[in-house]
Amino acid sequence: METREYIKELRIVGGHVALDFVNTVDGTPDGESRFENLRDHGDLVAWSTRVGLITPDEAGRLGREAERRPEEAEEVYLDALGLRDALYGVFRAIAEGREPPSEGLEKLRGYECEAISRGRLAPGEDGFGWEWKDGGDLAMVLWPLAHAATGLLTSGGLDRLKRCAGCHWLFLDASRNRSRRWCTMEVCGTHEKVLRYTAKRAARRGDA
């Protein structure tokens, strides 16, 4: 499989894999300067492998299948982006204390149904869990993702869900006093501090 170095460099800071998936688009809250980090089915597979949703062996098999059936791979990729948009809508609403959109919940439910119907209960280190074998199905990459997102939605702890004050990314605030404001201090936190400092200096000079 092709090495996709840029996937390895993506920041994983959401505190939950479903939020990290939502955070695979960069950009500002107003939707300007959006930058897509997942460019095709191969990126989706590489990212899923990096975050541990699928194994490198499965990724290899999916990669070979995708080469044989590029159109189907593209469809799965577009489905993943649709699921990601839905998840963003749902989790962002929760982070902002609003009711999540019912279409988003319904979309997730649809993928979760498919995931469960295609999954298998298998023993793990800490009890049983769901397991997916691809069996050549390119859509397999969506199942652990949908299941993880449903897990986050149903497991509690959503009162720690926040949206970054500097960009649109979402994260679980694990800090003791729940004071985390940024996805990443070095990226969004510093930027905001610089803006504040510049504004203060401008105010002191009397030109703001």
Residues that bind Zn ion (CB under 5 A): 164, 166-167, 169, 183, 188
Task: Report how far apart the first and last C-alpha atoms of the chain are (Å, whole number).
Answer: 55
**Helix orientation angle between 70-95 and 102-118, rounded to the nearest 10 degrees:** 130
Output the smallest distance, CB 30 to Zn ion, in A. Answer: 13
| Residue 72 or 173 with smaller CB distance to Zn ion | 173
Gyration radius of the chain's alpha carbons: 19
| Residue 26 or 72 with smaller CB distance to Zn ion | 26
Output the smallest distance, CB 188 to Zn ion, in A. Answer: 3
Do residues 167 and 183 make contact, with C-beta atoms less than 8 angstroms apart? yes
Output the smallest distance, CB 178 to Zn ion, in A. Answer: 17
Q: What share of the chain is helix, strand, coil (3-state, %, to 5)?
A: 55, 10, 35
Output the smallest distance, CB 193 to Zn ion, in A. Answer: 13
